[in-house]
């Protein structure tokens, strides 16, 4: 089986309170984008689950989210056979784009068919939530959805199904630790509070001129990431210099994206930023 595995950005991410399990409750608005990996799954006659990948930064052991997804279903349903799982990465690793989470969701969706498990999306999402906070979003294969609690309580926003946003996406070649960002977030004082919320943002996106005004996008973690990683701030400053207004970090970063009016504008900007020869990955992307 060959499965496409998409990236995501967070149009809104408000961190609320810390939970007893040391995670945080959040309110977020996910958008699936057309930057994607490819996953190839083949059956094995033994019970082994083997992971391979073209990217050296992806773990190939039991810590890999694809491995965890396959192992979870294999054990739960007493599947006798094993798997070879090949991940072809195009989504930058550890960038706040949910690449690993999307890969795990792709494996769950594929194995539901391959092993004829007949699980509903709601049941698959419950398995997904055991693997990682963002995995459940990708199970629903929706362009937009809100996420609550750890981000795993998903509500698909069907009213936005026809909406297509364009972005310029820039990823500096630095590693950002999500646990570190959340840990620092708990210690920062005087952090900016959002001027909007998921409901307000959704209502705006339904309108004829979505995101025509700045200030609706928000990310609680951005303020921490910008203080700890000056390179991320440089990316934001570069995008701002091109006249863009709706610019935000996705997740804990380091990926930064801006809303642009069209695919043509995104492509032109991507070439201009690439011409600066910065050590950044630059993409023109849209809602998927």
Please report, for the chain, the start and end positions of each structural domain, with discontinuous segments joined by +.
2-158, 160-286
The DSSP symbol for 113 reads H
pLDDT at 288: 96
Mean pLDDT of 26-42: 97
Model confidence at 124, pLDDT cuts 50, 70, 90, reads: very high
Percent of the chain with pLDDT over 70: 98
pLDDT at 190: 63
The answer to whether 134 is a known catalytic residue is yes
Mean pLDDT of 214-243: 92
Of the candidates 68, 89, 121, 134, the residue annotated as catalytic is 134
Distance CA 192, CA 187 (A): 14
Model confidence at 113, pLDDT cuts 50, 70, 90, reads: very high
Before 72, cis peptide (omega within 30)? Answer: no
CATH topology (fold) of 160-286: Alpha-Beta Plaits (3.30.70)
**In terms of CATH architecture, what is 2-158?**
2-Layer Sandwich (3.30)
> Do 160-286 and 2-158 have the same topology in CATH?
no
pLDDT at 277: 82
Which alpha helices (DSSP H) does the chain contain, by range?
Answer: 65-76, 99-114, 121-129, 135-139, 178-185, 198-206, 222-228, 230-241, 263-274
CB-hemisphere CA count at 13 Å for 25? 6
Lowest mean pLDDT among 28-32, 46-50, 128-132, 215-219: 215-219
User: With 0-12 CB in 10 A as exposed, 13-18 as middle and 19+ as buried, what is 232?
Assistant: buried
Percent helix / strand / coil, the chain, rounded to 5: 30, 30, 40
pTM of the model: 0.94
CA torsion 194→198→204→205, rounded to 10°?
A: 130
pLDDT at 209: 67
Of the candidates 8, 68, 89, 121, the residue annotated as catalytic is 8
Look at residue 19 and give its three-state secondary structure. coil
Number of other residues whose CB lies within 10 A of the CB of residue 77: 12
pLDDT digits (tens, 9 = 90+) for 230-254: 999 999 999 999 999 899 999 999 9
pLDDT digits (tens, 9 = 90+) for 78-96: 999 999 999 999 999 989 9
pLDDT at 188: 76
The answer to whether 8 is a known catalytic residue is yes
- Determine the Cα angle at 255 with ends 253 and 257, to 5°: 125
Computed over every residue of the chain, the mean pLDDT equals 93
């Amino acid at each position: 089986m060959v499965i496409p595995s998409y990236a995501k950005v967070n149009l809104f991410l408000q961190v609320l309170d810390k939970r007893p399990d040391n995670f945080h409750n959040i309110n977020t608005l996910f958008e699936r984008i057309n930057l994607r990996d490819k996953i190839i799954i083949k059956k094995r006659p033994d019970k082994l689950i083997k992971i391979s990948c073209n990217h050296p930064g992806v773990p190939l052991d039991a810590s890999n989210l694809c491995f965890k997804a396959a192992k979870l279903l294999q054990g739960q349903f007493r599947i006798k056979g094993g798997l070879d799982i090949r991940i072809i990465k195009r989504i930058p690793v550890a960038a706040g784009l949910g690449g690993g989470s999307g890969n795990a969701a792709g494996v769950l969706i594929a194995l539901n068919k391959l092993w004829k498990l007949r699980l509903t999306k709601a049941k698959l999402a419950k398995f997904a939530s055991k693997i990682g906070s963002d995995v459940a979003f990708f199970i629903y294969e929706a362009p937009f959805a809100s996420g609550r609690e750890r981000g795993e309580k998903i509500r698909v926003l069907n009213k936005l199904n026809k909406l297509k946003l364009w972005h310029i996406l820039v990823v500096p070649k630095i590693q950002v630790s999500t646990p570190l960002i959340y840990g620092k977030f708990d210690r920062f004082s005087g952090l900016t509070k959002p001027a909007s919320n998921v409901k307000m943002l959704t209502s705006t996106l339904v309108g004829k001129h979505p995101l025509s005004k700045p200030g609706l996008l928000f990310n609680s973690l951005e303020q921490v990431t910008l203080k700890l990683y000056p390179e991320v701030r440089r990316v934001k400053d570069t995008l701002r210099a091109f006249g863009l207004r709706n610019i935000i970090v996705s997740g804990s970063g380091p990926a930064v994206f801006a809303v642009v009016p069209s695919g043509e504008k995104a492509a032109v900007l991507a070439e201009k930023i690439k011409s600066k020869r910065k050590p950044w990955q630059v993409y023109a992307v849209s809602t998927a």
